[in-house]
Amino acid sequence: MLRKFLALLLLTTLVGACSRTPVHTDTPLGTLEGYVKDEVEYYLGVPYAQAPVGELRWRPPAPAQPWTGAREATENASICTQFSPVGGSLTGSEDCLYLNLWTPANKPEKPMPVMVWIHGGGFIVGQGSYFRDDGMRLAQREDVVVVAINYRLGIFGFMAHEGLTAEDPAHPSSGNYGIMDQTAALRWVRENISAFGGDPDNVTIFGQSAGGVSICAQLASPAAAGLFHRAVIQSGPCVSPMSSLAAVSKLGAQAQTQLGCDDVASPVACMRGKDTETIANTLPPDPTLGFGEGYTFWWPIKEPGVLPLQFMDAFTSGNFNRVPVIHGTTRDEATLLIWLSHNFRFKPLRAEQYMERLEYLTGSPELAMRVARQYPLENYASPYDALSESFSDGFFNCFGRRQAQAISQHVPLWNYQFDFDEAPFFIPWADLRAFHSAEIQYVMGKPMSFTRSNFKAEEQALADSMMGYWAEFARTGNPNGSGPNTWPAYDTRDQTLLFNLQNSVASGVHKTDCEFWAALPYLRAPYP
Q: How many CB atoms lie within 10 A of CB 174?
A: 28
Number of helical (H) and strand (E) elements in the chain, helices listed first? 18, 17
Spell out the alpha helix ranges (H) of 84-176.
136-142, 154-158, 162-165
- 99 within 8 A of 185, measured Cβ to Cβ: yes
DSSP calls for 374-429: HS-GGGSSSHHHHHHHHHHIIIIIHHHHHHHHHHTTTS-EEEEEE--TT---SSTT
d(C-alpha 128, C-alpha 206), whole Å: 12
CA dist list (Å): 241 to 171, 183, 292, 405, 526 = 23, 21, 17, 17, 11
Q: Which residues are catalytic?
A: 209, 333, 436
End-to-end Cα spacing for the chain: 42
- 499 within 8 A of 270, measured Cβ to Cβ: no
Q: How many CB atoms lie within 10 A of CB 141?
A: 16
Q: Compute the half-sphere exposure of residue 91: CA atoms within 13 Å on the CB side of its CA.
A: 15
Can you tell me whether residue 303 is helix, strand or coil?
strand
